[in-house]
Amino acid sequence: MKQPLESLLHTTLKNLTGDLFPKAALPEGPLLERTRDLAHGDFATHVALMLAKRAGRQPRELAQAIIAALPKSELVSKIEIAGPGFINFFLAPCAYHAELKTLLAAGAAYGRNQSGAGGRAMVEFVSANPTGPLHVGHGRGAAVGDCLCRLLTATGWAVTREFYYNDAGQQIDNLALSVQARCKRIEPDQPGWPKDGYRGEYIQDVANAYLTRQTVHADGISVTAGADADDLDAIRRFAVAYLRHEQDLDLRAFGVEFDVYYLESSLYTEGRVQQTVRALIEHGHTYEKDGALWLKTTDFGDDKDRVMRKSDGSYTYFLPDVAYHVSKWQRGYIRMINEQGADHHSTILRVRAGLQALEMGIPKGWPEYVLHQMVTVMRGGEEVKLSKRAGSYVTLRDLIDEVGRDATRYFLVARKADSQLTFDIDLARSQTNENPVYYIQYAHARIASVFRQLAGKGYAWNAENGKANLAQLTQTHEQALLVNLSRFPEMVETAARNLEPHLMAQYLRELANDFHTYYDAHTFIVEDAALRDARLTLIAAARQVLQNGLALLGVSAPESM
């Protein structure tokens, strides 16, 4: 809907250069916005206010000149000047009718575009330590990250999904010691239990599998337990593989898959960390102090310099992160998006500083970050804090088992990622209009039900007759639905560009509301064939957009409920 008008406006402004303002003064990018109130038109632009000073005219005078220069278009029924110089466009009904026909012709492809032009993008998300089951925070990261991938793909990007496994460091040592203690029948709080050991019952499951010589598969690798409770290295290898496999099962149940699993340990075995240190030293961005090696991150906007290599020779956590992102850059990704928990906020500047210090031509804003806040799980008005299996937190599998995959995915993506989220289990399980995912899915199921009833009443939908009679759709509810359907491609583009999948969740709820209101106010299966087919055509379009939007969230579109 927006593109023809945008093109018309840009062309008109170019034609006016020289007469009213210099070519260099022309604004770039989108000029039109949808109005909040249709009484002010369908679209509006403040371009006259932007250019008035450069043109040496009053904004309303310039707005009148722009309107006079605009070619006539059958898509536009009226143009008005409002306020200090806004230009409001009122679309003709045929503009919405044409968009509805485009929607139906495109089907599952409606809303998709090629703005990414096939550029390579990677989204790294979840990236949980293989030390336990995925918790609800990982679930939010999985939902947001997966939807980002779907939105970027829908806008023409060639997307790679990557999971970074932190399979090295102290946490993995603590895991191995915890499993070893369980193998030796040492319980938490008993003498011999490791100081920072993991206490969940899943540790006993790992120990039992190890002692019974089980074989586990993770990322194409098989590891068979040795059953020797004194072989800590064997326990470590098995425990990591076991928990990676468990996390894979959780993600599969959540409908999330990855193209690449990248191991932190490979950064050391392949020498990438050491290569990064040498390169930083060679470029003169490091110095030694108190036996430690420091990076001059203050050269790149940090409030103080950071230690890269401690006095004991071990590396701080952000150095392998820099080495890891060098790997991403060398793999040729134009866009690199990290979806992580809000606790990673402090690492953003340091990682970017390290990448700039390497002087490899990496853009300053690379990589991009989407950080999600914590999730509070509620049941019966009280916070749920513990899982029977994990012992110390609510797991992703707990939520899936409680409310199902669809509700879990929708609820975890329904709010902006950087806002706190309360997950109400009772609401997610309810089959009421208060439950947004139920409300949206019910709209789709209701439309499917109308078409099933059609055959039972001896009618058949004639889509061509419906498209030929769209002028019959004159009711307020019909106009509202037409307008909202036409917004879908813009919502896909905006959600992808801003990396905000919650916008799609909110849009679908608004669209469902428009349909339910229409359903309650009007009868679709009427005797008048022209009106009947026109209304069926409209709700068929609504069904298609609901399907397309739910697919971008990884949520199903049921035919009945």
Q: What is the CATH number of the domain that holds 35?
A: 3.30.1360.70
- Looking at the predicted structure, is the pLDDT value of residue 24 above 70? no
Same domain flag for 485 and 502: yes
552: which 2 tokens?
């971008």
Is 335 part of any domain?
yes
Residues 283 and 305 in one domain: yes
Residues 148 and 245 in one domain: yes
Which of the two residues, 162 and 316, has the higher pLDDT score? Answer: 162
Does 119 reside within a domain?
no
Q: State mean pLDDT over 330-338.
A: 96
* pLDDT band for position 19 (cuts 50, 70, 90): confident
Q: Same domain for 210 and 141?
A: yes
- Give the tens place of pLDDT for each residue, 27-60: 877 889 999 888 899 999 999 999 998 888 899 9
* Same-domain pairing of 367 and 409: no
Give pLDDT, residue 346.
85
Q: Which of 349, 372, 395 marks a domain boundary?
A: 372
Q: How confident is the prediction for the chain on average, in pLDDT?
A: 94
Of 501 and 221, the one with more pLDDT: 501
Q: What pLDDT band is residue 107 in, cutting at 50, 70 and 90?
A: very high
Q: Are residues 412 and 140 in contact, defined by beta-carbon separation less than 8 angstroms?
A: yes
In whole angstroms, what is the distance from residue 410 CA to residue 253 CA?
15
Which pLDDT value is given to residue 18? 79
Same domain, yes or no, for 174 and 219?
yes
pLDDT band at 306 (very low <50, low <70, confident <90, very high): very high
Structure tokens at 342: 């809000």
Domain boundary among 335, 350, 372: 372
- Is the predicted pLDDT of residue 387 greater than 80, yes or no? no
| pLDDT in the model for residue 16 | 87
Collapsing DSSP states into helix, strand and coil, what is residue 268? helix
The pLDDT tens digits for 166-201 are: 888 889 999 999 999 999 999 999 999 999 999 999
Q: Peptide bond before 367: cis, by omega within 30 degrees of 0?
A: yes
CA distance 184 to 504: 51
Residue-wise pLDDT tens digits, 131-153: 999 999 999 999 999 999 999 99
Does some domain include residue 256? Answer: yes
342 dihedral zone (left: phi>0; alpha: psi -120 to 50; beta): alpha
Most confident of 12-21, 28-37, 330-339: 330-339
Whether residues 41 and 182 fall in one domain: no
Average pLDDT over residues 494-520: 98
> What local confidence, expressed as pLDDT, does residue 26 receive?
77
Helix/strand/coil for 371? strand
pLDDT of residue 219: 78
pLDDT at 263: 92
Task: Determine the structural domain holding residue 229 and report its residue range.
Answer: 125-269+373-429
Residue 20 has pLDDT above 80, yes or no: no
558 belongs to a structural domain: no
What is the domain count for the chain? 4
Mean pLDDT for 336-364 is 94
Domain membership flag for residue 561: no
